[in-house]
């Protein structure tokens, strides 16, 4: 599994910690930036890089995006065709983002989630796989709406 991970300058400590955590689990990590609290790159540019990498992989990669709250990253990520991003600040939401919504980008807030909880959330999230079932028709509806609105 490859995870594309990115943050803005508000979330560098969490991103750095998550890279080490993911690598310790044997996950390949692709860094989409930023790497310093002094980096003026805004979160939309980082989310764009991450999502473009996921799309270029044929959606084989997943993404983890972190900013102050996770909200801005999530809003930006969901502007890309085929990206289903969710803000998840607990394990249940992260689980449902995959199992109910076939999500491929997890967004979190450095100012909202502690580092130990972030590790638990991401650690569980990377083990999950969507399976066809009762949620499949809903996901097809999401994809149809996306196709209508993202021409």
Q: Output the tens digit of pLDDT for each of the chain's 151 residues.
A: 999 999 999 999 999 999 999 999 999 999 999 999 999 999 999 999 999 999 999 999 999 999 999 999 999 999 999 999 999 999 999 999 999 999 999 999 999 999 999 999 999 999 999 999 999 999 999 999 999 998 7
Given this model, what pLDDT does residue 151 score?
78
| pLDDT confidence of residue 17 | 98
What is the predicted pLDDT for the residue at 100? Answer: 96
Burial of residue 98, with CB atoms counted within 10 A of its CB: 0-12 exposed, 13-18 middle, 19 or more buried: buried
For 55-92, b where at least 16 C-beta lie within 10 A, e where not — what string?
eeeeeebbbbbbbbbbebbbebbbebeebbbbbbbeee
Strand, helix or coil at 64?
Answer: strand
Positions marked active-site: 67
Query: In whole angstroms, what is the distance from residue 128 CA to residue 125 CA?
Result: 6
Give the domains, in start order, of the chain with CATH numbers.
Answer: 2-149 (3.40.1400.10)
Compute how many other C-beta atoms are within 10 angstroms of the C-beta atom of residue 107. Answer: 28
- Cα–Cα dist 26/11, whole Å: 23
Separation of alpha carbons 61 and 59, rounded Å: 5
Task: Please say whether the dihedral angle defined by the alpha carbons of residues 12, 14, 18 and 20, taken in this order, is positive or negative.
Answer: positive
What's the pLDDT score for residue 149? 93
Residue 63: the pLDDT is 98
Could you give the angle at which helices 115-125 and 91-99 cross, rounded to 10 degrees? 20
Q: Which two tokens stand for residue 118?
A: 């972030």
């Amino acid at each position: 599994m490859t995870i594309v991970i990115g943050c803005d300058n508000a979330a560098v400590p969490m991103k750095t910690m998550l890279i080490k955590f993911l690598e310790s689990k044997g996950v390949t990590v692709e860094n989409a930036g930023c790497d310093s609290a002094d980096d003026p790159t805004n979160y939309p540019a980082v989310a764009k890089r991450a999502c473009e990498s996921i799309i270029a992989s044929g959606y084989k990669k997943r993404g983890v995006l972190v900013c102050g709250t996770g909200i801005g990253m999530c809003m930006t990520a969901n502007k890309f065709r085929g990206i289903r991003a969710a803000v998840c600040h607990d394990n249940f939401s992260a689980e449902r983002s995959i199992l109910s919504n076939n999500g491929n980008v997890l967004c979190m807030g450095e100012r909202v989630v502690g580092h130990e909880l972030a590790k638990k959330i991401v650690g569980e999230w990377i083990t999950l796989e969507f399976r066809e079932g009762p949620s499949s028709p809903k996901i097809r509806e999401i994809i149809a709406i996306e196709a209508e609105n993202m021409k």
